Amino acid sequence: MKEKTLRAQRGMPLLTLFVLLYLAAIGLIVLGGVLLDSQNAWGALPLTLGVVWSVIGVFPFFGFKIIKPQEALVLTLFGKYTGTLNEAGFYFVNPFSSSVNPAYKTRLGQSGDVDRSANSTIKIDGATMQANIVNKKISLKVMTLNNSKQKVNDVLGNPIEIGIAVMWKVTDTAKAVFNVDNYKEYLSLQCDSALRNIVRIYPYDVNPGIDTTGDGEPDEGSLRGSSTLVAERIRKEIQDKVENAGLEIVEARITYLAYAPEIAAAMLQRQQASAIIDARKMIVDGAVGMVEMALEKLNENDVVKLDEERKAAMVSNLLVVLCGNKDAQPIVNSGSLY
Domains, in order of start, for the chain: 9-100 (no CATH), 143-259 (3.30.479.30), 267-323 (no CATH)
Mean pLDDT across the chain: 81
Tell me what pLDDT residue 167 has.
93
- Residue 64 neighbours by CB distance under 10 Å: 16
Q: Beta partners for 73?
A: 85
* HSE-CB for 239 with a 13 A CA cutoff: 15
Go through 299-323 and write b for each residue having 16 or more CB atoms within 10 A of its CB, e for each that does not: eeeeeeeeeeeeeeebbeebeeebe
Residue 150 pLDDT > 50? yes
Among 3-17, 174-188, 280-294, the least confident range: 280-294
| Residue 219 DSSP code | -
Report the distance separating Cα 203 and Cα 152, nearest Å.
Answer: 11
DSSP 180: S
Helix (H) or strand (E) holding 197: helix 183-199
Cα–Cα separations (whole angstroms), residue 180 to 96, 185, 186, 268, 306: 24, 10, 7, 44, 86
Q: Between residues 244 and 126, which one has the greater pLDDT?
A: 244
Closest CA to 141 of 111, 113, 183, 110: 113
pLDDT of residue 173: 93
Better-predicted residue by pLDDT, 90 or 300: 90
- Cα(20)–Cα(24) distance, rounded to whole angstroms? 6
Dihedral angle sign, alpha carbons of residues 140, 146, 150, 153: positive
How much is the pTM? Answer: 0.70
pLDDT, tens digit (0-9, with 9 covering 90-100), for 55-69: 888 888 888 999 999
Residue 114: DSSP 8-state: P
